[in-house]
Amino acid sequence: MSITSICCIGAGYVGGPTMAVIAHKCPHIKVTVVDLNEERIARWNDPNVENIPVYEPGLSEIVAQARGKNLFFSTQVDEAIDEAQMIFISVNTPTKTYGAGKGMAADLKYIELCARQIARVATTDKIVVEKSTLPVRTAEAIKNILDNTGNGVQFQILSNPEFLAEGTAVEDLLAPDRVLIGGGTDEAGQIAIKKLVEVYANWVPSHQILTTNLWSSELSKLTANAFLAQRVSSINAISELCEKTGANVNEVAKAIGMDSRIGPKFLKASVGFGGSCFQKDILNLVYIAKSFGLQEVADYWEQVIIMNDHQKNRFARKIVSTLYNTVSGKKITFLGWAFKKDTNDTRESAAIYVADDLLNEQAQIAVYDPKVSARQIQSDLNYLETRLPEENDKAIESCNDPYEACKNAHAIAILTEWDEFKSYDWQRIYDAMLKPAFVFDGRNLLDADKMKEIGFLYQGIGS
C-alpha cells in the first residue's frame, strides 16, 4: 500500500519548504505540518501568503497552490501523528548549551520528545523518518523509545537527511542532486525504504535516489556539511595569505576551481560562513569523534571552525585598524545581516559576531537588510549576552532605507551578498558619507575599481 498521509513535526526552515514541495508534487498525499509554536503555524496559515514565516524565493507560490488542498499547517500534533502513515521528524537539533557535551554535542531533547509523543499517540503502524540532522546512531535510540513505550504497534525508522540550502530551498527540493534514504537491512526495513522512495519518485529520477543503511545515511549528512564548510575555511585561509602577498583570492579560486578534481563551487572567500548548520554539525562531528577516542579526527575538523572564527574576528579588527585604530562613537553601516542572500534567517550569521566585536570598541552601528527585522537583530545580539539589552538597543539601529543607513557613516561593511547592493547609486552614498569614506566588502560583491573611482577607500577579502 502506498503512502497517502504524511505528518511532519516541525514547521521550520526545513519542515515547511520540504513538505510544501512534497504536497505540490504528490497531490494524492495529504501532508500535515505540525508545530508547537502557535505563532509560526498562524503565519504559515496567514491568508496573505507573503507573510509565511520562511522567506525563500518561489516558496509562497507553492504554498499558495497546495495549502488547504493537500497541505495543512496545524498545532494539533497528536491528531496529525495518529492519522499519518509516515511521520517526518524535522525539529531543531541545536548545539547543547548545558551539561555533558555543552557547546559541542547536538541537543536531542526535541527529538526524544517527538519519539515519546509518537509512541504515546500511535495506534497504527508508522514509518518514522529522521529529517532533522542527527548524530550517527540516533535511529537506535529512537527505535528503543518507540518500541519500549509504544502501544504495541510496529515502527520502522528511516534516515532521510535534507540537503537543501537556504535561499535556494525550493530549487534544491525540486531538483535535488540526490535524495538519501537509509533504513534497516531486514525485509521490513527494505519495505519501508521502498515506500519513501515511491514518494520521491513522483519527481526525482530513480538514479538520484540513493538508499543505504541507517548509519551511513546519518553520517553522510554531517560529513557533507563538514566538507562544504571545510572548502569555505580553506579558501578563507588562503584569502589572508593573499592579502599579505599581492595574490588575489578570486583569481586563485578561479584557477584552482577549473581543475575538475577540485571544482568551482564553495570557493568564495567571505567574512566567514554562518547559518544554522555548518558550525553545529561540525561541532557535533568533533564531539562524536572525541567520544570514540579519535582525537586526531576531532582536531582535524575542529580547525574548520577555528579558521571561521578567525575570519570573522579579523574582519572586525581590520575595520578598527583601518579607521585609525578607533571606532569609538563612529557610525559604521552594515549592509546585510542575514547569513547569506535570499533568506531571512540570521542564525550564526557572521554579521552578529562582527557587530559584537565592533560594539566592544564602542562603535555606533546602523544596519540595513532587506529581509531581517529590527527585532531579530536585537534578539541576535542579546542572545550573546555580551552586554545589557538596553546597551545593545542604544548602540545599534536598524534602518528601512539603505541610503539613510549610510548617511554620515565613516564606513560601510558588506556582510551579506544581496544582489540589490550591487545596483545602488554608490555615488549618492559616497556623497552623503563622512570622508574618507571606507567600504569593507566582506563578500567581494562590488566592483573594486568602480568603487575606488568614486573615491571610496575600498577593501575586499583576499586582495
* Contact residues: ligand UDX, CB under 6 A: 162-166, 225, 228, 232, 266-268, 270, 273-275, 277-278, 339-340
Number of residues forming the site for ligand NAD (CB under 6 A): 27
- The H or E element spanning position 26 is none
Task: Take residue 456 and report the three cell numbers written for it.
Answer: 571610496
Q: Which is nearer to ligand NAD, 87 or 359 (CB)?
A: 87
Asked if residue 274 belongs to a known ligand binding site, the reply is yes
Out of 7, 8, 15, 118, point to the residue binding ligand NAD (CB under 6 A): 15
Asked if residue 293 belongs to a known ligand binding site, the reply is no
- Interaction partner, residue 11 (ligand NAD, ligand UDX, none; CB < 5-8 Å by kind): ligand NAD
Nearest residue (beta carbon) to ligand UDX = 275
Distance CA(352)–CA(360), nearest Å, equals 12
Out of 70, 95, 138, 276, point to the residue binding ligand NAD (CB under 6 A): 276
The stretch among 4-12, 289-297, 324-332, 349-357 that binds ligand NAD (CB under 6 A) is 4-12
Out of 22, 91, 235, 253, point to the residue binding ligand NAD (CB under 6 A): 91
- Interaction partner, residue 266 (ligand NAD, ligand UDX, none; CB < 5-8 Å by kind): ligand UDX
CB 311 → ligand UDX: shortest distance, Å?
9
- Interaction partner, residue 228 (ligand UDX, ligand NAD, none; CB < 5-8 Å by kind): ligand UDX
Asked if residue 50 belongs to a known ligand binding site, the reply is no
Contacting ligand NAD within 145-164 (CB under 6 A): 162, 164
Phi, psi of 242 (to 5 degrees): -60, -45
Task: Take residue 343 and report the three cell numbers written for it.
Answer: 533568506
CB 302 → ligand NAD: shortest distance, Å?
19
Distance CA(176)–CA(170), nearest Å, equals 10
Asked if residue 277 belongs to a known ligand binding site, the reply is yes
Asked if residue 242 belongs to a known ligand binding site, the reply is no
Catalytic residue flag (residue 277): yes
Asked if residue 224 belongs to a known ligand binding site, the reply is yes
Asked if residue 347 belongs to a known ligand binding site, the reply is yes
Active-site residue, from 7, 8, 26, 277? 277
| Residue among 317, 301, 429 at smallest CA distance from 363 | 317
Contacting ligand NAD within 69-88 (CB under 6 A): 77
Using CB under 6 A as the binding rule, whether residue 95 contacts ligand NAD is answered as no
CB of 280 closer than 8 Å to CB of 95? yes
The one-letter code for the residue type at 255 is A
The 3-class secondary structure across 72-92, one letter per residue, is EEECCHHHHHHHCCEEEECCC
Out of 31, 114, 173, 412, point to the residue binding ligand NAD (CB under 6 A): 114
Site map for ligand NAD, 18-37, x if CB under 6 A? ----------------xxxx
Q: Which is nearer to ligand NAD, 91 or 104 (CB)?
A: 91
Written as one string, the DSSP assignment of 195-239 is HHHHHHTTTS-GGGEEEEEHHHHHHHHHHHHHHHHHHHHHHHHHH
CB 19 → ligand UDX: shortest distance, Å?
16
- Interaction partner, residue 274 (ligand NAD, ligand UDX, none; CB < 5-8 Å by kind): ligand UDX
Contacting ligand NAD within 115-144 (CB under 6 A): 132-133
The 10 Å Cβ neighbour count of residue 388 is 10
Out of 10, 176, 442, 460, point to the residue binding ligand NAD (CB under 6 A): 10
Binding residues: 10-15, 35, 40, 91-95, 132-133, 162-166, 221-225, 261, 268-274, 277-280, 339-340, 347, 443
Binding site for ligand NAD (CB under 6 A): 9-15, 34-37, 40, 77, 90-93, 110, 113-114, 132-133, 162, 164, 166, 276-277
Active site residues: 277
The annotated binding site for NAD(+) is made up of: 10-15, 35, 40, 91-95, 132-133, 166, 277-280, 347
